[in-house]
Structure 1
């Protein structure tokens, strides 16, 4: 991760050496004007105001999506579950689409897209959990079905916004393709605490998550309240997803790829999977975002890179499982 960090902060249209990077970070962190005076303002701005916030967002967004994917798969007992399954990502997309549309059509005021996306994701979570309750009980099957239903309705709403936006549809499409190009320190301060807290909660209760993934009866027999535990995990992982998606847009496959990769190496113990998901997810998205910046003259949406990685990976998993069945 450290190597990827330094590659990412070095590379770009303007190459900046390691010495200058160290001067900028040290000078900014400790308010050393004497050190900052050794550099021109442009170099300092590129490192501190553009590249560093983007790198930190990539690390925490990737880690948050990976951890939430790991938790969703265990809670819903579905290896293909992620934030899309619960409709959280689609809710964020709907909120962002409304904000972008209103900002285009209205004059005199502007709705923050990040705030609208976060609110849309949180409200979607509330609707899905409310619809899923049967006699006060949240079942994995009902959660998946409710998520699919709500996601389908919101997807139709996003499509409507695209059609109504006309010439300005590119703004909505661009957000939905996923990008960290506009990341700033405000985004870091939003995603960092929520992702860190969600990861800590999930790690602390990881043993309960292991038992919950075995089924409600087994979990209850071993002293775990399935209903209470499920609410804790769903809320924590959904809030992480809401924060991540509101900052980056829709970035697919990170929450699916990372848990599967780690299970091949570490097994199914969530006490190991969750912290390592945070690390590998951040590493994966940072590498993908760096590639998105430097591969071509024009920047590629990072969501395109992760999708290109996800397709071949699941083809590999599919072939591997079929070979095992043949044996």
Structure 2
């Protein structure tokens, strides 16, 4: 299974580099095709893989620390809160280098608010969390809509950006995202054993020497940092972090030493494939925002989880 997954990932990367509005023939490259491949297509494919890995990794951590199989950056309101911060930063003329920082602060604020609303008597109610996440998405969307209306000149392209996509990609942005992902991944893998203990009830985890509050706060900050950086570069791409941790757990088990890696790999595979589909699904060279593709996939998966685990949600 592991070899098959790696084979599919490499095949997806190669196919994504060759497919698009202009099909590239790898064994007979023209000068134009070479420029398209190395100047546009390759950085975009690598960028989509890194963003997918970031979202997959954050989704795995959210679902573990919140003990909620429906938790990801979108359903918890972290993505929309981060997007709100990014939009306001752009509208107010804050330097682009500081946009991810503002997105991180608002994303953390939104996630912590949802967490407080869902936590009662030391336990997290999954239904309350999803409802609070929905409310956060609605409020953030309303403020973003007001910003689009009030700052119309500076946010003329924000509607397309909020659908999620890889519209402006370069090697510098790719390097930033690779660095953030690598640091976050190393920090999580060093604490994989503690994260496994966090899957127990809080009393048992504390008895085994885990500072639950500190570890959960650390996990929230790093996971939301991944979401904030991704959102500030690509807009809202929902449900990647919802789907891939479930697939990783079903194929390779729930041990976080494996789940962190395979959630990242499956996230990269899923988003690269979705971006390729978004580029070729409309004839004539038009491009569909990749957030629409992931929303369609994630929406169906979300309904499946609600249907199969409905009793467990309502009765805790």
Fold in common (TM above 0.5): yes
Give the conservation status (yes or no) of the 8 Å contact 2:278–2:290. Answer: yes
Does the C-alpha gap of structure 1 residues 183 and 217 become closer, same or farther in structure 2, counting only changes over 3 Å?
Answer: same
Q: Does 1:308 align with 2:308?
A: no
Tell me which residue corresponds to 1:14: 22
Q: Distance in 2 between matches of 1:20 and 1:99?
A: 45
Residue 24 of structure 1 corresponds to none
Task: Confirm whether residue 186 of structure 1 aligns to residue 176 of structure 2.
Answer: no
Higher deviation after alignment, 270-279 or 149-158: 149-158
Q: For 1:173 and 1:228, how far apart are their aligned partners in 2?
A: 38
Q: For 2:169, what is the secondary structure of its paired residue? A: coil
How far the C-alpha of 1:233 sits from its partner, in A, is: 1.3
Q: 1:321 to 1:94 in 2, by over 3 A?
A: closer
Matched positions, count: 294
CA distance in 1, matches of 2:76, 2:240: 16
Cα distance, 1:151–1:310 mapped onto 2, change above 3 Å: closer
Moved more, 70-79 or 143-152: 143-152
Shift of residue 306, structure 1, vs aligned partner: 0.5
Match for residue 207 of structure 2 among 208, 217, 221: 221
- Residues 260-319 of structure 1 deviation map (CA, whole Å, 9 limit, x = unaligned): 222222332222211000100000000000000011131000000011111222333344
Pair 45,92 (structure 1): closer, same or farther in 2 beyond 3 Å: farther
User: 1:200-215 to 2 correspondence within 5 Å?
Assistant: 200-215=186-201
Q: Which residue of 2 aligns with 1:121?
A: 103
Q: 2:142 aligns with which of 145, 151, 156?
A: 156
In structure 1, runs of 5+ residues without a counterpart are: 22-38, 104-109, 134-138
Partner of 2:6: none
The alignment partner of 1:18 has SS state of coil
User: What is the distance in 1 between the residues matched to 2:287 and 2:112?
Assistant: 41
Aligned to 2:256: 270
- Correspondence for 2:64: 74
1:255 is aligned to 2:245: no
Match of 1:224, SS state, is coil
- Rg bigger for which structure? 1
Indicate the RMSD between aligned Cα atoms, in angstroms: 3.2
Alignment CA distance shift 1:261-1:90 (3 Å): same
In structure 2, the partner of 1:92 is 82
